[in-house]
Amino acid sequence: MTALKQPIQEADQEERSEALPDGTPLLGDQFTIDRALSNGGFGITYLAKDNYLDRNVVIKECYPEVFCMRRGKDVLVRSDQHKEKYRTIVKMFMREARSIAKMRHPNIVGVHRIFEDNHTAYMVLDLIHGRDLLSIVNDESDPLPPAQIKEILIKVLDAVDLVHQNDLLHRDISPDNILLDKWGSPFLIDFGAAREEASRETRAVSTVLIVKDGYSPQEFYFAGGKQGPSSDLYALGATFYHLISGVAPPNSQTRMAEFAGNNPDPCEPLAGRFPEYDQAFLAAIDKAMQILPKARLQSAREWLNIINREGQQVKPLKVSSRFNLNKTLTRLVSETNEYVLNSEPREPVKPTLKLKSAEPEVVSAPRWAEEFNEETTETLEEQRAVQKTVAELAARKAEREAAERRRKQWWRLGFLHRSKSKSLS
């Protein structure tokens, strides 16, 4: 959905009630909220004005709704038990903003300020005039040509490569987190590290906050699932699978279950289906989207090299032995079953942001990357307290998704109506 061209509908009432009202000043009189754009459950995004520089900006407010609520302008912790956790999340949010600010790249959204106010944190982002890839793929009247899709992928891969070189993961690559400006240049937004911190409480919170069906790789669904650069590449592959085929790929958990049962993969490969694309280009996306991390492309650079050498065949990587494969699958499937059947909180998930890739190891990561990846712990009691709010959060997420669907339908109807009026006049 276009953030800037879309009027906020009645369906957004709940979203808006959590959000700061239009016209609210921030950081003294430096910024003024124009209107809320979205509430993703972890943060609230606003269109705002920088009064000193006299320009429009986007401001993201740290608002992990599992742990907090609004009173007046202030963000309050839901209960004393959440206090520590909430502070850690706010700290992570600030670190995340600093990390993005340090990664200067033409295809990563610019962060030009962070500040604390109303007992929470805010990041000020460059305003990108344009649309996100999800709204573009949903708008059947104006599909992106293959050459442009290829160009967008090359630019995003270059941005992802920089993220990985800095020992970071994006963790939430999806069509709604890539914006296309009016010149067609893509921008990566909405990094998910702080969200990962919030989700470390329980897998239930994790499922609500960090898993995006269709785009998240299977390791995001499992407690202790090891995440690395190939996890981001899976999500990027899934994003481009959607752009090219017009449909989001099936949930990676479903794919894995079918794989474990020796059934055909419900995700039909792209290669061989779209003659308007180079087959090596499509095969690289298929490879990035392999179920098992080992079988995927291992780095953004490797992917870029394949695109640059188009025409060569991508050879699928062979997994060492069927025996090991079955063992891994059995373990993963039993973990899923255990999670589904038993809602007791698990041991805190070990931090997984530190990357281990097939590339030569970076000898010393920059200090800010270490800080960004720092470990935190929480008590079992805290975990239990969080579980209480999970059901509520899941219901709100479902409501939000329904509202989003209604809004899209409304927008589409409006679009059809406008096109009809145009052709009649």
Ligand X SMILES: Nc1ncnc2c1ncn2[C@@H]1O[C@H](COP(=O)(O)OP(=O)(O)OP(=O)(O)O)[C@@H](O)[C@H]1O
Nearest approach, Cβ of residue 40 and Mg ion (Å): 5
Alpha helices by DSSP H, listed for 133-228, are 133-138, 146-165, 193-199, 203-209
Backbone angles phi and psi of 76, in degrees to 5 = -110, 150
Nearest approach, Cβ of residue 62 and ligand X (Å): 9
Comparing every residue's Cβ against ligand X, the nearest one is 40
Do 395 and 66 touch, CB atoms closer than 8 A? no
Q: Using alpha carbons, list the distances in angstroms from residue 415 to 43, 48, 418, 420.
A: 29, 27, 5, 8
Do 252 and 234 touch, CB atoms closer than 8 A? yes
In terms of residues, how long is the chain? Answer: 425
Residue 201 binds which one of ligand X, Mg ion, none, with CB within 5 to 8 A depending on kind? Answer: none
Instruction: Rank residues 190 and 201 by Cβ distance to Mg ion and give the closer one.
Output: 190
Q: Report the candidate in 202, 166, 177 with the shortest Cα–Cα distance to residue 67.
A: 202
Residue 96 lies near Mg ion (rule: CB under 5 A): no
Angle at which helices 380-424 and 83-102 cross, to 10°: 50
Residue 61 lies near Mg ion (rule: CB under 5 A): no
Size of the site for Mg ion (CB under 5 A): 2
Comparing every residue's Cβ against Mg ion, the nearest one is 190
Instruction: Rank residues 39 and 227 by Cβ distance to ligand X and give the closer one.
Output: 39
Backbone angles phi and psi of 314, in degrees to 5 = -90, 120
Q: Which stretch binds Mg ion (CB under 5 A): 172-180, 217-225, 261-269, 282-290?
A: 172-180
> Where does this chain bind ligand X (CB under 6 A)?
3, 37-38, 40-43, 45, 58, 60, 109, 125-128, 132, 176-177, 179, 189-190
Query: Position of tokens 């720092």?
Result: 374
Q: Which stretch binds Mg ion (CB under 5 A): 29-37, 151-159, 176-184, 228-236?
A: 176-184
Residue 389 lies near Mg ion (rule: CB under 5 A): no
Nearest approach, Cβ of residue 190 and Mg ion (Å): 4
Residue 190 lies near Mg ion (rule: CB under 5 A): yes
Distance CA 209, CA 196 (A): 8
- Identify residue 69 by its one-letter amino acid code: M
Nearest approach, Cβ of residue 181 and ligand X (Å): 9
User: Would you call 325 exposed, middle or buried from its count of C-beta atoms within 10 A (0-12, 13-18, 19+)?
Assistant: middle
Residue 177 lies near Mg ion (rule: CB under 5 A): yes
Nearest approach, Cβ of residue 39 and Mg ion (Å): 10
Instruction: Rank residues 120 and 177 by Cβ distance to Mg ion and give the closer one.
Output: 177
Instruction: Rank residues 38 and 298 by Cβ distance to ligand X and give the closer one.
Output: 38
For 210, the 3-state DSSP assignment is coil
Q: Report the candidate in 222, 218, 220, 225 with the shortest Cα–Cα distance to residue 195.
A: 220
Residue 239 lies near Mg ion (rule: CB under 5 A): no
Residue 48 binds which one of ligand X, Mg ion, none, with CB within 5 to 8 A depending on kind? Answer: none
Residue 153 binds which one of ligand X, Mg ion, none, with CB within 5 to 8 A depending on kind? Answer: none
Residue 232 binds which one of ligand X, Mg ion, none, with CB within 5 to 8 A depending on kind? Answer: none
Nearest approach, Cβ of residue 33 and ligand X (Å): 14
SS (H, E, C) 328-389: HHHHHHHHHHHHHHCCCCCCCCCCCCCCCCCCCCCCCCCHHHHHHCCCCCCCHHHHHHHHHH
Residue 60 binds which one of ligand X, Mg ion, none, with CB within 5 to 8 A depending on kind? Answer: ligand X
Q: Which stretch binds Mg ion (CB under 5 A): 73-81, 159-167, 177-185, 326-334?
A: 177-185
Residue 378 binds which one of Mg ion, ligand X, none, with CB within 5 to 8 A depending on kind? Answer: none
Distance CA 112, CA 104 (A): 11
Binding site for Mg ion (CB under 5 A): 177, 190
